[in-house]
Amino acid sequence: MEFKDYYKTLGIAREASADDIKKAYRRLARKYHPDVSKEADASARMAEVNEANAVLSDPEKRAAYDALGSGAAHAGGQDFRPPPHWDAGYEFTGTPGGGAGMDEAQFSDFFEQLFGRAAQARHGAGGARGGTSEGGTQRGADHHARIELALRDAYLGGERLLTLRGARLDAQGQLVQQERQVQVKIPKGVREGQLIRLSGQGGPGLGGAPAGDLFLEVEFQPDARWRTQDRDVYLSVPVAPWEAELGGPIEVQTPGGASVEVTVPARFKPGRKLRLKARGIPAATPGDLYLELQVVLPAAHTEAQQQAYRTLAKAFAGFAPRASQGV
């Protein structure tokens, strides 16, 4: 386990006042806020900052942490093990994780071992605030993550193998990290931005209490061919110039993989959409599928094909494609 120098993380001296800690934390929270930061590792840095603040802003945790010694004393990449009973005499009365609004699932092994559920179990769960019952039980924390799905999954449902990082307490009350896999059946009809709840797949409960839930926020994989708006799906459909102008049947593959025959009306109009009712994302009231026609010009590779374009030009001698630009 790597020693975490929380003072270094927040960029403050060990003698920093509570006000200094708060200012440093807010400055970094603004810098690495996942919704606004352009830093590539913003989420990971934000988790580090939250973790450091969760310890240093809590006088009890800070005092216990300071008693471990300075970061320099544990530097050099050595494996860090807290001394036995290192926290004897300290009473952690806060929540085991980062407190209100924080997601402890992202905190490090170092934090978990010293201040997380292992610490809480050593101290006896009954003393903590934040939802612990008198009987020493506490429901596990909810965890949150994002999941990227294909639009096809929304049409047909799908399965995903998730690897979840979890923890359990061993016989000595030490925290043991473990990874586990869980297979999730994605229900069809899911839309972008929606949440999927996996009951009981969050953090473990204490004292026999149930585990928390895992919430997955759905994002669709970007695809130039389509976009969604609520349950409606807009599909870009390339058509040849003669199909666009003369009309007629064309075959279209829906995002769900089905092939449908659609009749394109004659006389193409830019921006025209063809609606296929109830062919959008499935639901009790399914969305519609809108086909946005895009005229695609074939490249003239052979002499015969080039001659065809010349013939076309003669047939449309009066056509002025740039008339709107005054040319």
Partner 1 sequence: MADHSHPHVPSAAAEILGDAPCLSAQDLAQACRMQVSWVTERLSAGLLQGELQAGRWRCSGAALVRARRLAQFETTFDADPELAALTTDLIEEVAQLRQQLRRLQARLGSLN
Q: Which residues of this protein are in contact with partner 1, per CB under 8 A? A: 25-26, 29-30, 35-36, 95, 97, 99-103, 130-131, 139, 141-142, 144, 152, 156-162, 181-187, 189-191, 193-201, 212-217, 222-225, 227, 236, 257, 294
Distance of alpha carbon 70 from the chain centroid: 35
Q: Shortest Cβ distance from residue 177 to partner 1 (Å)?
A: 19
Nearest residue (CB) to partner 1, 161 versus 171: 161
CB of 215 to partner 1, least distance (A): 7
Identify whether the C-beta of residue 214 lies closer than 8 Å to the C-beta of residue 197.
yes
Give me the phi and psi of 49, to 5 degrees please.
-65, -45
For residue 46, the minimal CB distance to partner 1 (Å) is: 10
CB of 312 to partner 1, least distance (A): 21
In the bound complex, what is the minimum distance in angstroms from residue 307's beta carbon to partner 1? Answer: 27
Strand 143-149 versus strand 214-220 pairing type: parallel
Please give the Cα distance from 235 to 287 (Å, whole number): 13
Residue 138 is given by DSSP the state B
Instruction: Single out the residue of 192, 187, 127 nearest to residue 157, CA to CA.
Output: 187
Task: Please provide the DSSP assignment of 85-103 as one string.
Answer: TTTTT----S-SSS-TT--
**Nearest distance from C-beta of residue 282 to partner 1, angstroms:** 12
If the CB atoms of residues 42 and 68 are measured against partner 1, the closer one turns out to be: 42
Contacts of 293 (CB under 8 A, 6+ apart): 237, 239, 244, 264, 268, 272, 273, 274
Name which of 86, 16, 90 is nearest 53 in CA terms: 16
